[in-house]
Amino acid sequence: MVDLEALARECGVQLYDVETVSENGRTIYRISITKAGGVGLDDCERLSRLLSPIYDVEPPLEGEWTLEVGSPGLERKLSKPQHFANSVGELVRLSCTDGQKLSGEVLDCEGGVLRLRTDGGEVSVRLDEIKKARTYVQW
């Protein structure tokens, strides 16, 4: 099994997320990376070139697939506690397991609880009650 976190660090970036998606009939093994100051094309290429020969010998998926290395973007999915903790000061939209939908600014994320400033005031939500979360940019 490939240690993606270690290989990303070797390339000077941090592993953000890994997902397998199907787009237009193609299977994509998508690796998202971050780094202070932002991810550039060179960062993506460096990790991709490091992984390609490894995945030629030890593929992460069965069948045909395409490797894609990129930034998670400004508007990105939040799924891990660290994602929320690193999003302090950013705007997020949440769907909760009870059907509630919230949006607001992330104030902090500690002890498995996310604290938001919403139009209705401060709200705390346990991370295990969040079904879906994304950052968003207000233009």
Average confidence (pLDDT) over 16-27: 94
pTM equals 0.82
In the chain, the amino acid numbered 119 is D
4-70: CATH class: alpha beta
Sign of CA dihedral 89, 80, 3, 44: negative
Residue-range domain boundaries for the chain? 4-70, 77-135
77-135 carries CATH number 3.40.50.2300: no
pLDDT at residue 93, rounded to an integer: 97
Task: Please check whether the two domains, 4-70 and 77-135, share a CATH topology.
Answer: no
Render pLDDT for 97-122 as a digit per residue (tens, 0 to 9).
999 999 999 999 999 999 999 999 99
Render pLDDT for 32-59 as a digit per residue (tens, 0 to 9).
999 988 899 999 999 999 999 999 999 9
How many beta carbons lie within 10 A of that of residue 39, not counting itself? Answer: 21
Render pLDDT for 67-98 as a digit per residue (tens, 0 to 9).
999 999 889 999 999 999 999 999 999 999 99
pLDDT at residue 13, rounded to an integer: 96
Residue listed under structure tokens 């950013």: 90
Strands (E), the chain: 14-23, 26-34, 66-70, 91-96, 101-110, 113-118, 121-126, 130-136
What is the spatial distance between Cα 18 and Cα 7, in angstroms, rounded to a whole number?
A: 13
pLDDT at residue 139, rounded to an integer: 86
What is the spatial distance between Cα 97 and Cα 101, in angstroms, rounded to a whole number?
A: 9
Render pLDDT for 121-132 as a digit per residue (tens, 0 to 9).
999 999 999 999
pLDDT at residue 8, rounded to an integer: 96
pLDDT at residue 39, rounded to an integer: 94
